[in-house]
Structure 1
Amino acid sequence: MPEAGGPAMPVRRSSLRQQIADALRDEVLTGRLQAGRHFTVKEIAELYGVSATPVREALVDLAAQGLLDVEQHRGFQVRQLTAADFRALSEARLFIVEAAFRLMGERGMGDLPADAVASVRRRAEAAAGAAHAGSLDVLVGCDLRFWRELTAIGGNPHICEFLDRIRTQTWLYAVPHLRALRDPAGVCWAGHVALVDAVAARDTAAAYALTIEADVHTRALIEKLAPARS
């Protein structure tokens, strides 16, 4: 995040609310805007050279996503998650995923739009490539888009929204620990393409197993790294 008074990324006048929210979301999820950081609507508005209204709306949106906490009469703070929060989020995600795959197994997956599967596969390849290369900034964005599109294939927007919120918050906790690594290349889960292949083949058992594998890998990695930073 640029320092106050310094050059800021120019923001177009269209859809200011979404643009500001996207810019700040990227700063939070990549760890450049660190947990515990305080700021006000006025500070962000001055930083981007816009009025307070779209900034306030953008910050409220990010708070609704669980990335910011609203501080009464003080502004906003980047949310600080604990190891217990991380475990609870992972457990909640697996609970919903298990139920979703069970329903798919009972009802069948039906016709899968070829264009949607192709798009998810591109996201998978990009996310896996970023994981192998250790490009955290790229990985966070690609991974979130991958899971968002993959979940959307299931057709339930409420499940999609819930899982996206959880995964966003788990990245919020995980990124600072990953950034502490000298070389993060190859340490993050990179089975995205195999998961797409399982979904495309309508193999719900294999898809669920890979989802569990991703969660177990990530939890073990972050829980191993977390004590080193405490």
Structure 2
Amino acid sequence: MYASVPAESLQLGTVSRVGSLREQVSAALRAALIAGQLRPGIVYSAPTIGEMLGVSATPVREAILDLVREGLVEVQRNKGFRVTDLSEEQLDEFAQVRLMLEVPTMGLVASLARDSAVAANLEGLRPGAEGIVRAAAASDLVRFIELDTEFHAHFLSLAGNSEVVRIVRDLRNRSRLYGLEAVARAGILGRNAEEHSEMIDLALSGDRENLEALVARHIGHVRNLWAGVADKS
């Protein structure tokens, strides 16, 4: 059995009438997932969500289909939808795949950094890295996820393999939602955020070995944060 949720318990704001309502509703629901407002174990109805966003149920149902394809929510027949609840085993598998893909790929970027174009692109990641730190300090989880995902995607893209970028984006969309709100409350999000600038420095110096070690630790930190067992010292 899953609990339903009253409309007044959520605060999703409204969407603009300009542009695609489906895309705007999808973005609003993703943001609510990231912020921890939409939680596993609760059934949400499309009409209720639509009323809160100031739209009809139709674009909400369309947006839900997008989130279903991404593995973020599941449809509850004749009831609505609920957030997908991942097991510890699934989270472990996500982290393992990220280690297999991101560590060597980001290491390769360090090997390519002697190329002036690659180096310039790495320098271009600094504003994003600084933004991640600011978002962490403000506990702005939606902004943190947006900037963090784009940072890693752009860094990985410098290795020239778009398929790696696509797979990692998908994994991050499905997994980084879990436990982040508690991490922010515990005040340990900043340490994770600060590692991004160090990644840039190591890549620019061509230090592939230490960059790969840092990326491995970074992904390990994320998995520990999901589990709520990170060293808070």
When normalised by structure 2's length, the TM-score is 0.78
For residue 66 of structure 1, what is the aligned residue in structure 2? 71
**Alignment partner of 2:82: what SS?**
strand
Within the alignment, does 1:8 sit opposite 2:13 as a pair?
Answer: yes
**Alignment partner of 2:165: what SS?**
helix
Q: Aligned match of 2:199 in 191, 195, 198?
A: 195
Q: Aligned match of 1:175 in 160, 169, 180?
A: 180
For residue 132 of structure 2, what is the aligned residue in structure 1? 127
Structural mapping, 1:45-84, within 5 Å: 45-84=50-89
Q: Aligned match of 1:86 in 78, 81, 91?
A: 91
CA distance in 2, matches of 1:157, 1:180: 35
C-alpha change, 1:42 and 1:193, in structure 2 (3 Å) is same
Shift in Å, 1:217 = 2.2
Deviations 1:29-71 (A, max 9, x none): 1212222332233333333232444322322222222221233
Within the alignment, does 1:157 sit opposite 2:158 as a pair?
Answer: no
Counterpart of 1:194 in structure 2: which amino acid? E
When normalised by structure 1's length, the TM-score is 0.78
C-alpha change, 1:102 and 1:201, in structure 2 (3 Å) is closer
Q: What is the aligned-residue RMSD (CA, Å)?
A: 3.2
CA distance in 2, matches of 1:119, 1:161: 21
For residue 39 of structure 1, what is the aligned residue in structure 2? 44
Shift in Å, 1:93 = 1.0
Structure 1: gaps (5+ residues): none
**Alignment partner of 1:33: what SS?**
coil
Shift in Å, 1:100 = 3.0
CA distance in 1, matches of 2:184, 2:56: 34
Within the alignment, does 1:141 sit opposite 2:123 as a pair?
Answer: no
Q: Contact 2:153–2:165 at 8 Å: present in 1 too?
A: yes
Deviations 1:55-91 (A, max 9, x none): 2232222222222123334332111122222211101
CA distance in 1, matches of 2:38, 2:120: 35
C-alpha change, 1:7 and 1:144, in structure 2 (3 Å) is closer
Counterpart of 2:95 in structure 1: which amino acid? S
C-alpha change, 1:145 and 1:98, in structure 2 (3 Å) is closer
**Alignment partner of 1:70: what SS?**
strand
Shift in Å, 1:2 = 9.7
Q: Aligned match of 1:215 in 212, 219, 227?
A: 219
Counterpart of 1:16 in structure 2: which amino acid? L
Q: Contact 1:134–1:185 at 8 Å: present in 2 too?
A: no
Shift in Å, 1:195 = 0.7
Structure 2: gaps (5+ residues): none
CA distance in 1, matches of 2:180, 2:82: 17
How many correspondences in the alignment? 223
